[in-house]
């Protein structure tokens, strides 16, 4: 059964609490009221996705519609999170948007070659920032058709 668009979950992997607040605020501002799962580091994000650690027993057939992934993260960094997402059958088709401070060419190249779907730089200007979040939310939650859920 197809998931309703408003039930789609956004996953935000971000360790900076200010950026979390600002992202949530931007989503709210544009009436994107979908549930947002927040992971403060790479390990937590992987636990959520694979139902391990503190997320042991989570129904892993329910996957986020999009993962907004910061690169510089405690414990396991963003590129490694991305690599593991792409390496696992259950998550390899999930849309992943890298959203980071870094405009480093190397990071972009590595991000894309590991299979990132988009690469967005966080601008200092909050108006630009929330515009970017809005576009992302609209595209990945409303326009994009997510991959069909993996059948058990």
- CB closer to another protein, 74 vs 123: 123
Coil vs helix vs strand at 134: helix
- Could you give the residue ranges of the DSSP H alpha helices within 1-152? 17-29, 42-50, 78-87, 105-113, 126-137
Q: Residue 149: how many CB atoms within 10 A of its CB?
A: 14
CB within 8 Å of 58: residues ≥ 6 apart: 48, 51
Site string for another protein, 26-55 (x = CB under 8 A): ---x--------------------------
Q: Which of 54, 125, 145, 152 is the binder for another protein (CB under 8 A)?
A: 125
* Distance from C-alpha of 119 to C-alpha of 111, rounded to nearest angstrom: 8
Helix (H, G, I), strand (E, B) or coil at 68: strand
131 sits near another protein (criterion: CB under 8 A)? no
Binding track, positions 3-22, relative to another protein; x by CB under 8 A: -------------x-xx--x
Listed ranges 42-50, 60-68, 117-125, 142-150: which one lies at the site for another protein (CB under 8 A) = 117-125
Q: Which is nearer to another protein, 30 or 55 (CB)?
A: 30
Residue numbers at the binding site for another protein (CB under 8 A): 16, 18-19, 22, 25, 29, 72, 100-104, 122-127, 129
């Amino acid at each position: 059964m197809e998931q309703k668009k408003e039930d789609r979950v956004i996953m935000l992997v971000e360790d900076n609490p200010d950026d979390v607040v600002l992202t949530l605020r931007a989503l709210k501002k544009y009436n994107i009221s979908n549930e947002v799962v927040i992971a403060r580091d790479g390990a937590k994000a992987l636990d959520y996705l694979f139902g391990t650690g503190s997320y042991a027993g989570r129904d892993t057939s329910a996957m986020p519609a999009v993962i907004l992934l910061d690169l510089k993260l405690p414990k396991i960094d963003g590129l490694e999170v991305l690599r593991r997402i792409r390496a696992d059958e259950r998550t390899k088709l999930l849309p992943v948007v890298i959203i980071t401070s870094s405009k480093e060419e190397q990071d972009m190249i590595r991000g894309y070659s590991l299979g990132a779907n988009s690469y967005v730089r966080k601008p200092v200007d909050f108006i630009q920032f929330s515009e970017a979040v809005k576009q992302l939310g609209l595209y990945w939650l409303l326009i994009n058709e997510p991959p069909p859920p993996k059948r058990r």
